[in-house]
Amino acid sequence: DRIPIKRALVSVYDKTGLEELVRGLHDAGVELVSTGGSAALIDGLGLPVTKVEDLTGFPECLDGRVKTLHPRVHAGILADRRLPDHVRQLSDLEVAPFDLVVVNLYPFAATVASGAGVQDCIEKIDIGGPTMVRAAAKNHASVAIVTDGADYAKALEAARDGGFTRAEREALAAKAFVHTATYDVQVASWMGSVVTDTSEGTGFPSWVGATWDKAAVLRYGENPHQPAALYRSGHGPGGLAAAQQLHGKEMSYNNYVDTDAARRAAYDHGDAPTVAIIKHANPCGIAVGADVAEAHRRAHECDPVSAFGGVIATNVEVSVEMAEQVAEIFTEVIVAPGYDAGAVEVLQGKKNIRILVAEPLAQGGVEMRPISGGLLLQHVDRFQAASDQGGDDPQRWTLAAGPVADEQTLADLAFAWRAVRAAKSNAILLASGGASVGIGMGQVNRVDSCRLAVTRAGDRAAGSVAASDAFFPFADGPQILLDAGVKAIVQPGGSVRDDETIAACQAAGVTMYFTGTRHFAH
């Protein structure tokens, strides 16, 4: 699956190592095509080179903004040579394909860091470069993409040895997409802090509006002195941002935060009717039930004091029976994928409750969190992450102490393990019969979370099971659970002091499973 390198497109801003690369490519019989500055350097070495302008028949223009943005370049990169039709079209159009693309981008981040002015920074936003990089990476079946000088030696070796293998081209393509994604995040976060648009009174950066659609100006943010708005992603599933409100006051910023957390918690238990009650983005009760009304009763029982003024989410339609229960309790928001006939009318009896319909939570995706001067992106945490060490499926857990759990205990452990990640770390969740009975969360050490969970559970701690979102670093936390009468524990394991926790469980005759995988939520 090697593809011989016969023709290479070279367009690099940073010319470090370029001489050695192009000499080597030339010696290996590779034809070179290149942009202005890069072509001049190659020409200066006395090597034959085709200028992109000569290839396209179109001059580099607009101060270099348009150099390689031309179909003669991009058809040569994007043709999938496994497809006879692509090969035929190239030949009809008299476009020769590229086997190798070598690009490094305008130094945007370094220009910003040098203190350059806004316009200079804008000129350093590379457009043609990432376009070539992404095109070549997409078409890695036919083309190898090199974006890093550290890979030049490999490229030379490949040119001499019949080309890169498919696996090598794939790895280079993945690296290239990371490179362009990082680059765009640098641009986006710089624009966010520099190019601000205060015309709408919110003081939000204009790129926000370029990326998302403004859906509502909120009364205020987390506090009354913070201007706030809701933006909706123009792509993908609508989610909470596109929820329909059937009743009640306007949604507030904090309502959205809590409702989002509630939905996450409610959609973690598969098809089982599930109810999560959230306050300040943390659960004060999560339960599954034979029906949604039962799930709600049991979620509410976990911590009725905290559930006052809470946000309720379900993963199934709200029944009239559940609506009657909710109508008894002061509730800020209820969100569900739908409502049985008559349920909305019952809820509407409460003037202030916000009633939302939102499509089921889509799993997966990417989430963002801004930090000062930047933006963090990550894939959303998900279940069933089977790893070499274990996974979320109880079948993959390792028995670390005590007897094998009976079916009911294992089901409770599985529920607790799924529910615990709805609480902010450090999180300890006690459960019994598919309902949380005590949750300790958001503490800066795991011992306090254990204490909190046990205190909240009261006499329900005895005979319950416990889940910990990450491993116990010491046996002190588990000892609190054991002293309270917890009958089984599930946790990731992996601490250097696991043996102390195992010994404590053994001494108490309590079952403990290791999942080998953790679910922090900060």
For residue 122, count CB atoms less than 10 angstroms from its CB and return exposed for 0-12, middle for 13-18, buried for 19 or more.
Answer: middle
- What is the full DSSP assignment across 389-406? TB-SSGGG-EEEESSPP-
- Choice between 130 and 337, CB closer to ligand 93A: 130
CB 424 within 8 A of CB 520: no
Q: Which is nearer to ligand 93A, 135 or 333 (CB)?
A: 135
Min dist. Cβ of residue 110 to ligand 93A (A): 12
Nearer to ligand 93A, 58 or 474 (CB): 58
Distance CA 319, CA 338 (A): 9
Task: Please give the Cα distance from 49 to 34 (Å, whole number).
Answer: 7
Q: Computed from CA positions of residues 344, 345, 346, 352, in that sequence, does the dihedral angle turn out positive or negative?
A: positive
Marked catalytic residue, from 15, 86, 175, 280: 280
- Closest approach, Cβ 117 to ligand 93A, in A, equals 18
Q: How far is the CB of 153 from ligand 93A (least distance, A)?
A: 21
Closest CB to ligand 93A among residues 69, 116: 69
Residue 280 a catalytic site member: yes
Residue closer to ligand 93A by CB (options 53, 448) is: 53
Answer yes or no: are the C-beta atoms of 266 and 275 closer than 8 Å.
Answer: yes
The dihedrals phi and psi of 147, each to the nearest 5 degrees, come to -115, -5
Q: How far is the CB of 37 from ligand 93A (least distance, A)?
A: 3
Instruction: State the pairing for strand pair 366-371/354-357.
Output: unpaired
Q: Which of 138, 175, 214, 249 is an active site residue? A: 138
Nearest-angstrom CA–CA distance, 368 and 384? 22
Q: Least distance to ligand 93A from the beta carbon of 74, Å?
A: 10
| Smallest gap from residue 64 Cβ to ligand 93A (A) | 5
What sign does the dihedral 390-395-399-402 (CA atoms) show?
Answer: positive
CB of 182 to ligand 93A, least distance (A): 15
Active site residue 138: yes
Residues engaged in binding ligand 93A (CB under 6 A): 11-13, 35-38, 64-69, 103-106, 126-129
User: Inter-axis angle of helices 128-138 and 71-78, to 10 degrees?
Assistant: 30
- The answer to whether 437 and 457 are in contact (CB under 8 A) is yes
Residue 230, token pair as written in the block? 């809701």
Contact 140, 3 (CB under 8 A): no
Alpha carbons 456 and 430: distance in angstroms, whole number: 9
Nearer of residues 13 and 474 to ligand 93A, judged by Cβ:
13
Q: Which is closer to ligand 93A, CB of 48 or CB of 373? A: 48
- Rounded to 5 degrees, what are φ and ψ at 363? -85, 155
Rounded to the nearest angstrom, the gap between the alpha carbon of residue 107 and the centroid of all alpha carbons in its chain is 27
The SS3 call for residue 146 is: strand
Q: Where do the DSSP E strands lie in 293-379?
A: 310-314, 331-336, 354-357, 366-371, 374-379
Catalytic positions are 138, 280
